[in-house]
Structures are given as C-alpha cells and as structure tokens.
Amino acid sequence: MSSTTTARFVRADGPDKVTGSGRYTADLTLTGALVAKFKYAEVSHARITRLDVTAARAIPGVFAVLTQDDVPDVRFGPFVQDRTLFARDVVRFEGEIVAAVAAIDVPTAQRALNAIVVEYTPLPVVNDIEAALAADAPLVHTDWAAYGAADVLVRDRNDASFASIAKGDVDQGMADADVVVHSRYVADGCHAAPIEPRAVVAQWEGNKVTIWTSTQVPFDARAGVCETLELPANRVRIIVPHLGGGFGGKCGFHYEAHVAALARATKRPVRLVFSRREEFLAPDRRREGIVFDLQTGVTRDGTITARKVWLAIDNGAYTADAGFFSQLAAMHALGPYQVPNALAEAHLVYTNHQPSGSVRAPTAPQTCWALESHTDEVAAAIGMDPVEFRLKNAVATGKEGPSGQVYDEIGLVDCIRAATDGAGYGQPLPDDEAIGVAIGWWPSFSVPSGAYVKIDGDGSGQIITGAQECGTGAVMTLRQLVADELGMQAEDFELVYQDTSVAPYDMGATGSQTLFNNGRAAVAAAGQIAEQLRNLAAEQLEANPADIVLADGAASVAGTPSRSVSIAELAGIAAGGELLIGHGSGAPPAPPEVVGATCVGDVGMAAWVAPQFSCHAVRVKLDRDTGVARVLAVSTAHDSGTIINPIGAQGQVEGAVLMGIGQALTEGTRYDDQANQRNAALLEYKLQTCADAPQIDIRFIEINTPDAGPRGAKGLAEAPNVPTPAAVSNALAKLVGAPIRQLPMTAERVWDALNDRSAS
C-alpha cells in the first residue's frame, strides 16, 4: 500500500556493524586507562549516617575514590532540580550512586568498593503509586518545595508534576450518555534493555575533556557535564562511537560527569562499562508504571459523549526528563477520538523506584493499552463491533480532537481500514485464535536543529550534522535528502556526526525527531549549495540560473540536456575560489494553539505538530490450559507522512512491533516490599527474540503532510510501539472472555483471568 518511489540504498554504517569492524564505546582502549566502578545504595530509602572511603583510597592500585564532597554541589534536572551527581545525605532508590572508584583493574576496583563503609538509618519506603499521593504519605523528597523547577510545573509533596486537560462539560456529557463504562487498569514499569550496556571513556588534555559515551543525546550530555562540573561548553567534547541501541533508555545525562571527574582526579583516562545487572538497576530512564481510571459515556448509536480519565504515573525517585509525561499521558488517555466533553487528570508521582524516563514513546504504549482495552469494553456495552466504533469516533481530517485541536489532512481512518484488511478481520478463526485491533497516535517534536553540507573539489560531498544515530537509520537518510536536492547519489556523501565539537546543535536521537527536524536543516544547507551550483553552471553554459537543472551528477539547461557540465567540474572550479559550503537550521513548525480546552500544568503537549497515527491488528493464539499466548501475525498501517527511506521505515515498524509484543506479554519490572527489583537480569526479564517474531504486514498511508518534515515526512521510530500491546490485549480479551487488567499480560495473569471466569 506504500506509494513511495524513493530509491533504496544501503546504510553507511551497515558494513561496519555486520562485519564486526565497527567500534562501540566499550571497544575503546586508551593508554594507561583506569577502570571505573560505582558504589550503589543497595537500599531504596535511607539516610546516610556514615560514609567512609579512607580504607578504599589506601588500597594499592586505587587512584581515586569520589563522593559528593569531591564535586561541585550542584542540583540538576531538566524539569526539577532534584538530584546531585552522588547521593547527598539521603539515598532514594537502590541504584543511586554513593561513590565512584578509579583503579588499575576490575578486581582492584571491586576491592575498593567493598572497602567503602556506608551506614544508613532506614526511612519509610514509598512503594505504591496511589498511596504516595495521600496527604499523610511519607515524602520521597522532604525539601521538594525548595528545588528549582520549570515554572509551568504544578507540584505538591510526592506529586512531581500534575497536569489536566478539560474541554466542555463532562458531567453533562455523562448525563447525556445511554451507557457509561468505567474501567481500571494497571501497567507495570519496564526497561529499554538495549543489548549494548552503557559505557563511558573520559580523557583530559589540559583543561579540556573529551568523553566518548554511548548516549543518544550528545549535546544534552555535554550540557550536563558543563552544569555539574561547572565547565564552559568549549572545554567539553562529547563523541559517540557506534551506538548499540538505546530505545530512549540512553537519553539524558548522568554518568559522563562521574567518569570525567574521575579522569580529572587521576590525571589518566578512565573507562566505565556497565554490567548487565547495572544496566537494569542504575539508569534513570525506564518505562513508567501507570495506574488508570477511565470512564466513557456513549449513546446507543456509538457516539462518544464524554470521557474522564485519571492517571497516576510512577516517576521514581527523581524526575529526570519525565516532567512532561503527565500532560503527554493525559493526551494519550483521551486518545485520537472525537470527544466533545473531556477531562483528563494525570499525576507524576515520586516513589522509591528507579527513576522513569524517555523509553520509546514514553507513557504511550501502556496508556494506549488501557484506553484501547477500555474502548473495546465500551463497544461491547452497546453491542457494536469495535472496529466500526473506532471508524465512527476516530479523529479525521477537519475534525476536532479531545483538546480542541482541529487536524489537517490525516490518515487514521485509512489506517484502520488498511490494517484490518491486511489482518483479514472478520473472517472465521479457530476457537483458540482471535484478532484484536487498536489505534494510537504520537506527536512530532518540533525543535531547532542544524547541519552543514560541503562539496569537495572532486565532486564528493560531506554532511556534517549534530544528529545522533542510535540504530534507526534516520541519520543515514540525510544522505538521500541532500543527494536528491543536488542531483547526486546518496553514496556520494560521507557523514560526519556524533561529535559536539564538530557539528551544530541537535536534540539527539529522541522523540523521533531526527528526520523531522535535522532533515529540514540538511535540505536547507543543500539548497544553498544548489543555488551556488546553478550560478556556476549558468556562467559555464551561458544560461539563466533559473533554467539550470541538477540531476544525474550534472547541471544542465532545462530542455537542452546536451548543454551540461558535471557537478565534479563545477566543484573543481569552486575549489579554486568560491567554496561549495551550505549551512541550514530548517525553521521548526510552530505548535498549534489549543482551542476550546483548559490546561493545568501545560508543558506544550496538549496540541501536536504533525501528529502520527497508526492502527495495528494482531492475531493471537491462546493455550487455555497454561495461559500462554503467542502472537501469530500483525497487520500494521501508519500515517507517518511521506516515507523517505522505505528500508529504514520497515525496520522501525518491525522492531517496534516486536518490542510492543514483549511489553504486552513478558516485560515488566517486579519490586519486593522494600522497592528493590526482583528480576534485574535477562534470565528473569524476558525479552522477545527472533523465535518469537510473528509475520508482520506493513502498510503506509502516505500523506504529504503540511508543516511537517522534509517532503511532508513525519517521525516513525516510536509510533509503531504504541498500539501493539493494546491490540494483543483486545485479542486476548476475546479469547478469555474478559480484559486482562494488568500489563504485562503474562501467562500467570491470563491463567488467573481464565480461572476467575470459570469460577464465575
């Protein structure tokens, strides 16, 4: 169904990765490098009564042991400044860093960790998201009111960020309904779980530090180092080698400053590589658990009259980048539906869990799971087919969404029809199989970005970009865009990227924004060179610059292709005088205004630039004796605007679907009564593998979206992750006879639901 005609090409980083010659951060070795190790709290909430590193510092081969006393006393955080580099006075989750060691080798570093003396006085553990909101609940941060925070945030005690979206009269809308359906769902948190563990290498040269790190956001990492170590930006260089996946879990900043501080203290390079257990326990980016309460009013003909939702989101011990999650989750909980009367209230709640953060489409898959499961309940309550119910109520071109935004041309209705057609929805199935359907959406993040393009004297080119490649292929696609603009081939261009001292700013591989924003910047830069080439060619061919066409590696006069000059010849002429250099920033589209809705705690997430839409239809087989479910086939349809790179787009859908299946059936963090993780290992935390992969049918509803990315493109990396768990849930509900109300829907939970139904 995809109508794209863009040529396919091999990724520039592909050969290095598949042959094993590519270097990741953990592969880097510097002469004299020391090993870094962290001392973690290992308890979830306690006051530090004694911290003694004297014995550790005395061990031969230990070059430095640092605590918060050895670095600037700076609180940091993108939304709430609630954190210091090392724990100060209080530890608030088990993976919090108390001290850092640099030693000659791993055994020596481990001996130093064992020699550090830490004594604690226990504090009450905040382990329940809802209970944490009670007026008499213990506080995770007793001095929360003194923290610096973004002015727009609404905070109170353990409520780190409250947001609401209100439109119309919800009470009257419920009164006008023939049926009101009330549902409760609970989603566990889970992990990004990239196969490459985090790694950082730092080396000082004079008063400047170079840090090689496995981050998705190099400029954000640099800003964090500058803030916490009190350094100017021109003395901090961040370089990212190949990145072995991130899925949002490697967004933000934290460990770069610890390793840089160790390297400064020892005057030697220092190298940190996480173990798999550390990868589970320490990072402050994991998918948030959420409690949902949803009510929808509907008439007998299937018209939604009102929707009211309440959410409690597990923020964990520190806010990290989750400050905008409450309003983002509120939008996802209202959903891509025409809702005339709406009220969404969302609380981002401090607990003594590992901090939450921007894992692939934060808040969206689990919120979509709750809403779309609830939507099937609503359709069943009035005896309506769930697909017909969605077709009737889904937002469409010119229609108003739940916050009052009226949408330009969008393809959600087409997505529903395409995905259900691909799945064979409505056809007979064995009694142990069913098809579930769910729709979802995701915003396009409109932010500044920059790129340089230059053509060398031989006609080859370079693209210098601040964009970060985390495996999606989005940066690779810049070669296509620039080549098309200049009439060249993608293979003619070398990419220079992932180095903050070389490239202009970019937000990084987060929010599916790379192609959307940096693509515009690269096209703008290429456009400047195209103008230079047309002017040079016009002189050589004695023609008007407006009549010059750039194609097939040459500049020719329109209508007279024999009058041409190669771009390589023009580049040689330019290299003798004027150089072919372009720079672009690509002005980001302005966010639409919210009309008709009132927002509290408004962080700009109630109206979306160029929203992406999707529908997934999933066929599931259930073994009723064991509760084991297997996904047999997934039919997907996406409106992500114009598809620029079909191979990359297909790969993103396939990967996101498999990740969504894991979130649906197996992936979830379990805590004990002291808020310590019980399954912080791949043996107990079950990821999907190739053996679990179903047949995946991929269809794109291509729309040249106005005010979007280059050629009307929108993002794609996160959107396919959104509706998959919900579609699996709706298939299971048909087979079980009732919704599974906790995510992940493990075999044990499905078996319990089957037995509860039998008992009733």
DSSP 242: B
Which residue has tokens 């025409």? Answer: 338
Residue 220 near residue 358, CB atoms below 8 Å: no
Residues 452-462: what's their mean pLDDT?
A: 95
What's the token pair of residue 273? 């590589």
Architecture of domain 290-446+593-759: 2-Layer Sandwich (3.30)
30-44, 204-218, 573-587, 647-661, range with the lowest pLDDT? 573-587
pLDDT exceeds cutoff 60 at 388: yes
Residue 586: predicted pLDDT: 75
For 131-290, where are the alpha helices, taking DSSP H only?
170-176, 218-229, 255-266, 276-281
DSSP-based helix, strand, coil % in the chain, nearest 5: 30, 30, 40
Query: How far apart are alpha carbons 365 and 658 in whole angstroms?
Result: 13
Residue 8: predicted pLDDT: 56
514 in helix, strand or coil? Answer: helix
Residue 65: predicted pLDDT: 98
Residue 299 near residue 305, CB atoms below 8 Å: yes
- 7 band by pLDDT with thresholds 50, 70 and 90: low
Residue 760: predicted pLDDT: 34
Residue 575: predicted pLDDT: 78
Percent pLDDT > 90 in the chain is: 92
Residue 561: predicted pLDDT: 84
Q: Which CATH number fits domain 14-123+198-273: 3.40.30.10, 3.30.200.20, 3.30.465.10, 3.90.1170.50?
A: 3.90.1170.50
- 199 band by pLDDT with thresholds 50, 70 and 90: very high
For 514-525, what is each residue's pLDDT tens digit? Answer: 999 999 999 999
Residue 590: predicted pLDDT: 85
pLDDT exceeds cutoff 70 at 545: yes
Residue 447: predicted pLDDT: 92
DSSP string, 292-321: EEEEEEE-TTS-EEEEEEEEEEEEESS-TT
Q: What is the pTM for the complete model shown?
A: 0.96
Mean pLDDT score of the chain: 95
Percent pLDDT > 70 in the chain is: 98
The β-bridge relationship of strands 742-743 and 179-187 is parallel
Residue 672: predicted pLDDT: 97
**Which fold is adopted by the domain 451-584?**
Aldehyde Oxidoreductase; domain 4 (3.30.365)
For 393-426, what is each residue's pLDDT tens digit? Answer: 999 999 999 999 999 999 999 999 999 999 999 9
pLDDT exceeds cutoff 60 at 608: yes
pLDDT exceeds cutoff 50 at 4: no
Across the beta sheet with 62-66, the strand order is 62-66, 97-103, 34-40, 270-273, 199-205, 208-213, 236-239
DSSP 518: I
Q: Which of 138, 102, 97 is nearest to 118 (CA)?
A: 97
CA atoms within 13 A of residue 90's CA, in its CB half-sphere: 16
> Three-class SS string for 371-417?
HHHHHHHHHHHCCCCHHHHHHHHECCCCCECCCCCECCCCCHHHHHH
Residue 514 near residue 467, CB atoms below 8 Å: yes
- 190 band by pLDDT with thresholds 50, 70 and 90: very high
Residue 715: predicted pLDDT: 92
For 77-103, what is each residue's pLDDT tens digit? Answer: 999 999 999 999 999 999 999 999 999
What's the token pair of residue 692? 């679990």
715: left (phi over 0), alpha (psi -120 to 50) or beta: beta
Q: Which of 654, 659, 712, 726 is nearest to 292 (CA)?
A: 726
Decide: residue 752, CB within 10 A, 0-12 exposed, 13-18 middle, 19+ buried: middle
pLDDT exceeds cutoff 80 at 58: yes
- Residue 668 makes CB contacts below 8 A (sequence gap 6+) with 188, 189, 190, 743, 744, 746
pLDDT exceeds cutoff 90 at 16: no
For 328-379, what is each residue's pLDDT tens digit? Answer: 999 999 999 999 999 999 999 999 999 999 999 999 999 999 999 999 999 9
Residues 296-308: what's their mean pLDDT?
A: 98
Domains 14-123+198-273 and 290-446+593-759 share a fold: no
The amino acid at 590: A
For the chain, which residues make up each domain, given as ranges?
A: 14-123+198-273, 290-446+593-759, 451-584
Residue 375 near residue 579, CB atoms below 8 Å: no
